[in-house]
Structure formats: structure tokens, C-alpha cells
Amino acid sequence: MQIGMSVNGAAQDHDVEPRTLLVQYLREACGLTGTKIGCDTSSCGACTVLVDGESVKSCTMLAAQADGAAITTIEGLADGEQWHPVQTAFHENHGLQCGYCTAGMVLAAVSLLDEIPNPSEADVRLGLEGNLCRCTGYHNIVKSVLAAAETMRASK
């Protein structure tokens, strides 16, 4: 079937099998491999992308369901050379080690901060419960998200 969507602001148009998952579509049809496949059972959150601005696990959505939507992946988050404040905060606060969960963590955090601009530490921990990290632990990830929230509030 023919589907089209905006991915990071660029129009994508491909003929896919109906069973194509959004994560496969992004990685294989669009060539955007920043979105990772972790558990593949909607548990780990590594495949999190934004669909019309909201975090979604792209391993548990058909590409066909995203037909016509606006998708943001980690490749599309920066504004040119200027990182998104959440990306900067992960960098500055050592919010990653191996980096496998990071794309999903960052996009889940962007969606969370859109819904809760002034989160408590508990809000961040609960808001990221759908994203698993197996190396840094969560301490610096939570610190990163809280730092990003502060930067983003200050720039408004």
C-alpha cells in the first residue's frame, strides 16, 4: 500500500506492506537509523519517536497508522547545528553511557516536558517509566531532564 508522512519536516512516500511497523519504515524505507529497536515488545522505549508531537513506541504502531502524520525522530530534533535543549542537557549531565536507549529517552523527555513543563523529580521518573536504560542507571537521565526543563522555561 502507498503511504506518505512528514518525517522531520521532509515528505516521505513509499509503497509498503500493511504489516510494516513504523520503526521498520523509519529505519529501512526512510534510512533513519537513529531510532533503535531494543526489546521489540513495547517495553523498553528505545524506539520512541514523536507522532504529531506525542511520544509513541514505533515498534507497536503500523506505518499505515502513521499515514499522513508528522513524525519527529532523533535526527530531526536539532535546529540545524543547534541541539535541542534536551540533547544539550543529556550531553552536559552525562545522561548516557552506551547510548542505545538515548534517542528514545530524549524523545520521551521532549514529549514529557511538553505535557509537564515544570516537572518534579517524581514526575520525570514516572514520566520515563516506559524507557529502560541498562547502563547509566537513571540518576543522570533524570538530572538531564530536570536541567533541560529549567533551560526551556528560562528561554520562554
Partner 1 sequence: MIPAAFDYVRAGSSAEAISLIGEHGEDAKFLAGGMSLLPLMKLRLATPTVLVDVGRVRDLSYVRDAGDHLAIGALTRHRDLETSDLLAQECGVLRAVAAQVGDNQVRHRGTIGGSVAHGDPASDLPAALLALDATFVLQGPGGTRSVAATDFFQGFLETALAPDELLTEIQVRKSGGAGFAYEKFNRRAQDWAIVGAVAARVNGGTHVALVNMGSVPLRARAVETALAQGASPTDAAREAAVGTEPPSDLNASPEYRTHLVQVLVRRALEAIAT
Find the part of the chain contacting partner 1 (CB under 8 A) among 14-22, 27-35, 75-83, 148-156: 14-22
**Residue 43 in contact with partner 1, rule: CB under 8 A:** yes
For the chain, give the number of residues. Answer: 156
Residue 3 belongs to what H/E stretch? strand 2-7
3-class DSSP state of 7: strand
Among 71, 77, 105, 112, binds partner 1 (CB under 8 A): 112
The region that residue 132 occupies, defined by phi over 0 for left and psi between -120 and 50 for alpha, beta otherwise, is beta
Pick out residues in 48-77 that bind partner 1 (CB under 8 A). Answer: 48, 51, 54-57, 60-62, 64-65
CA 79 to chain CA centroid, Å, is 15
Pick out residues in 88-107 that bind partner 1 (CB under 8 A). Answer: none
Asked whether the beta carbons of 108 and 45 are under 8 A apart, the reply is yes
Which residues here bind partner 1, judged by CB under 8 A? Answer: 1, 17-21, 24, 40-43, 45, 48, 51, 54-57, 60-62, 64-65, 108, 111-112, 115, 127, 129-131
